[in-house]
Amino acid sequence: MGEKLNEFIQTGSTYVKHHGRRYLLRTPTCQILKQLNNISSPTQNFTLPDDVVVELVPATQVVAWRVLEAEQNPRLRLIVDINRQLSDVISITEVKWTPQNELITASS
């Protein structure tokens, strides 16, 4: 029982078995308990990376064949600036993965 009390104080919650049932015991949010246990609220500052890796792979084999008809690699890995919109990346890949015969018929 001593280890359950220690777990209860350290983590703020524990399970106790009583008459064959398990009960979850929780402590209320208490500033003094947080200070006593050096528990800090999640106030971590984090920085975003400058670049993001976007990897595009075909969902089905039919889509992969369509990209291969355009003589392009169906697996595409791009390193994109974090400020770039995803719609820009998608529009670039749509143009890149369009087969040549569709480009010719669209331009005429």
pLDDT for position 1: 66
Contact assessment for residue 46 and residue 39, using Cβ atoms and an 8 Å cutoff? no
What is the token pair recorded at 98? 């369009």
Domains in the chain: boundaries? 2-36, 51-107
| pTM tops 0.85 | no
Label residue 14 by pLDDT band (50, 70, 90): confident
Q: What is the pLDDT of residues 81-102, one digit of tens each?
A: 989 888 988 888 887 777 777 7
Q: What is the pLDDT of residues 20-77, one digit of tens each?
A: 898 888 877 677 766 766 655 556 677 888 999 988 888 899 988 888 887 888 888 8
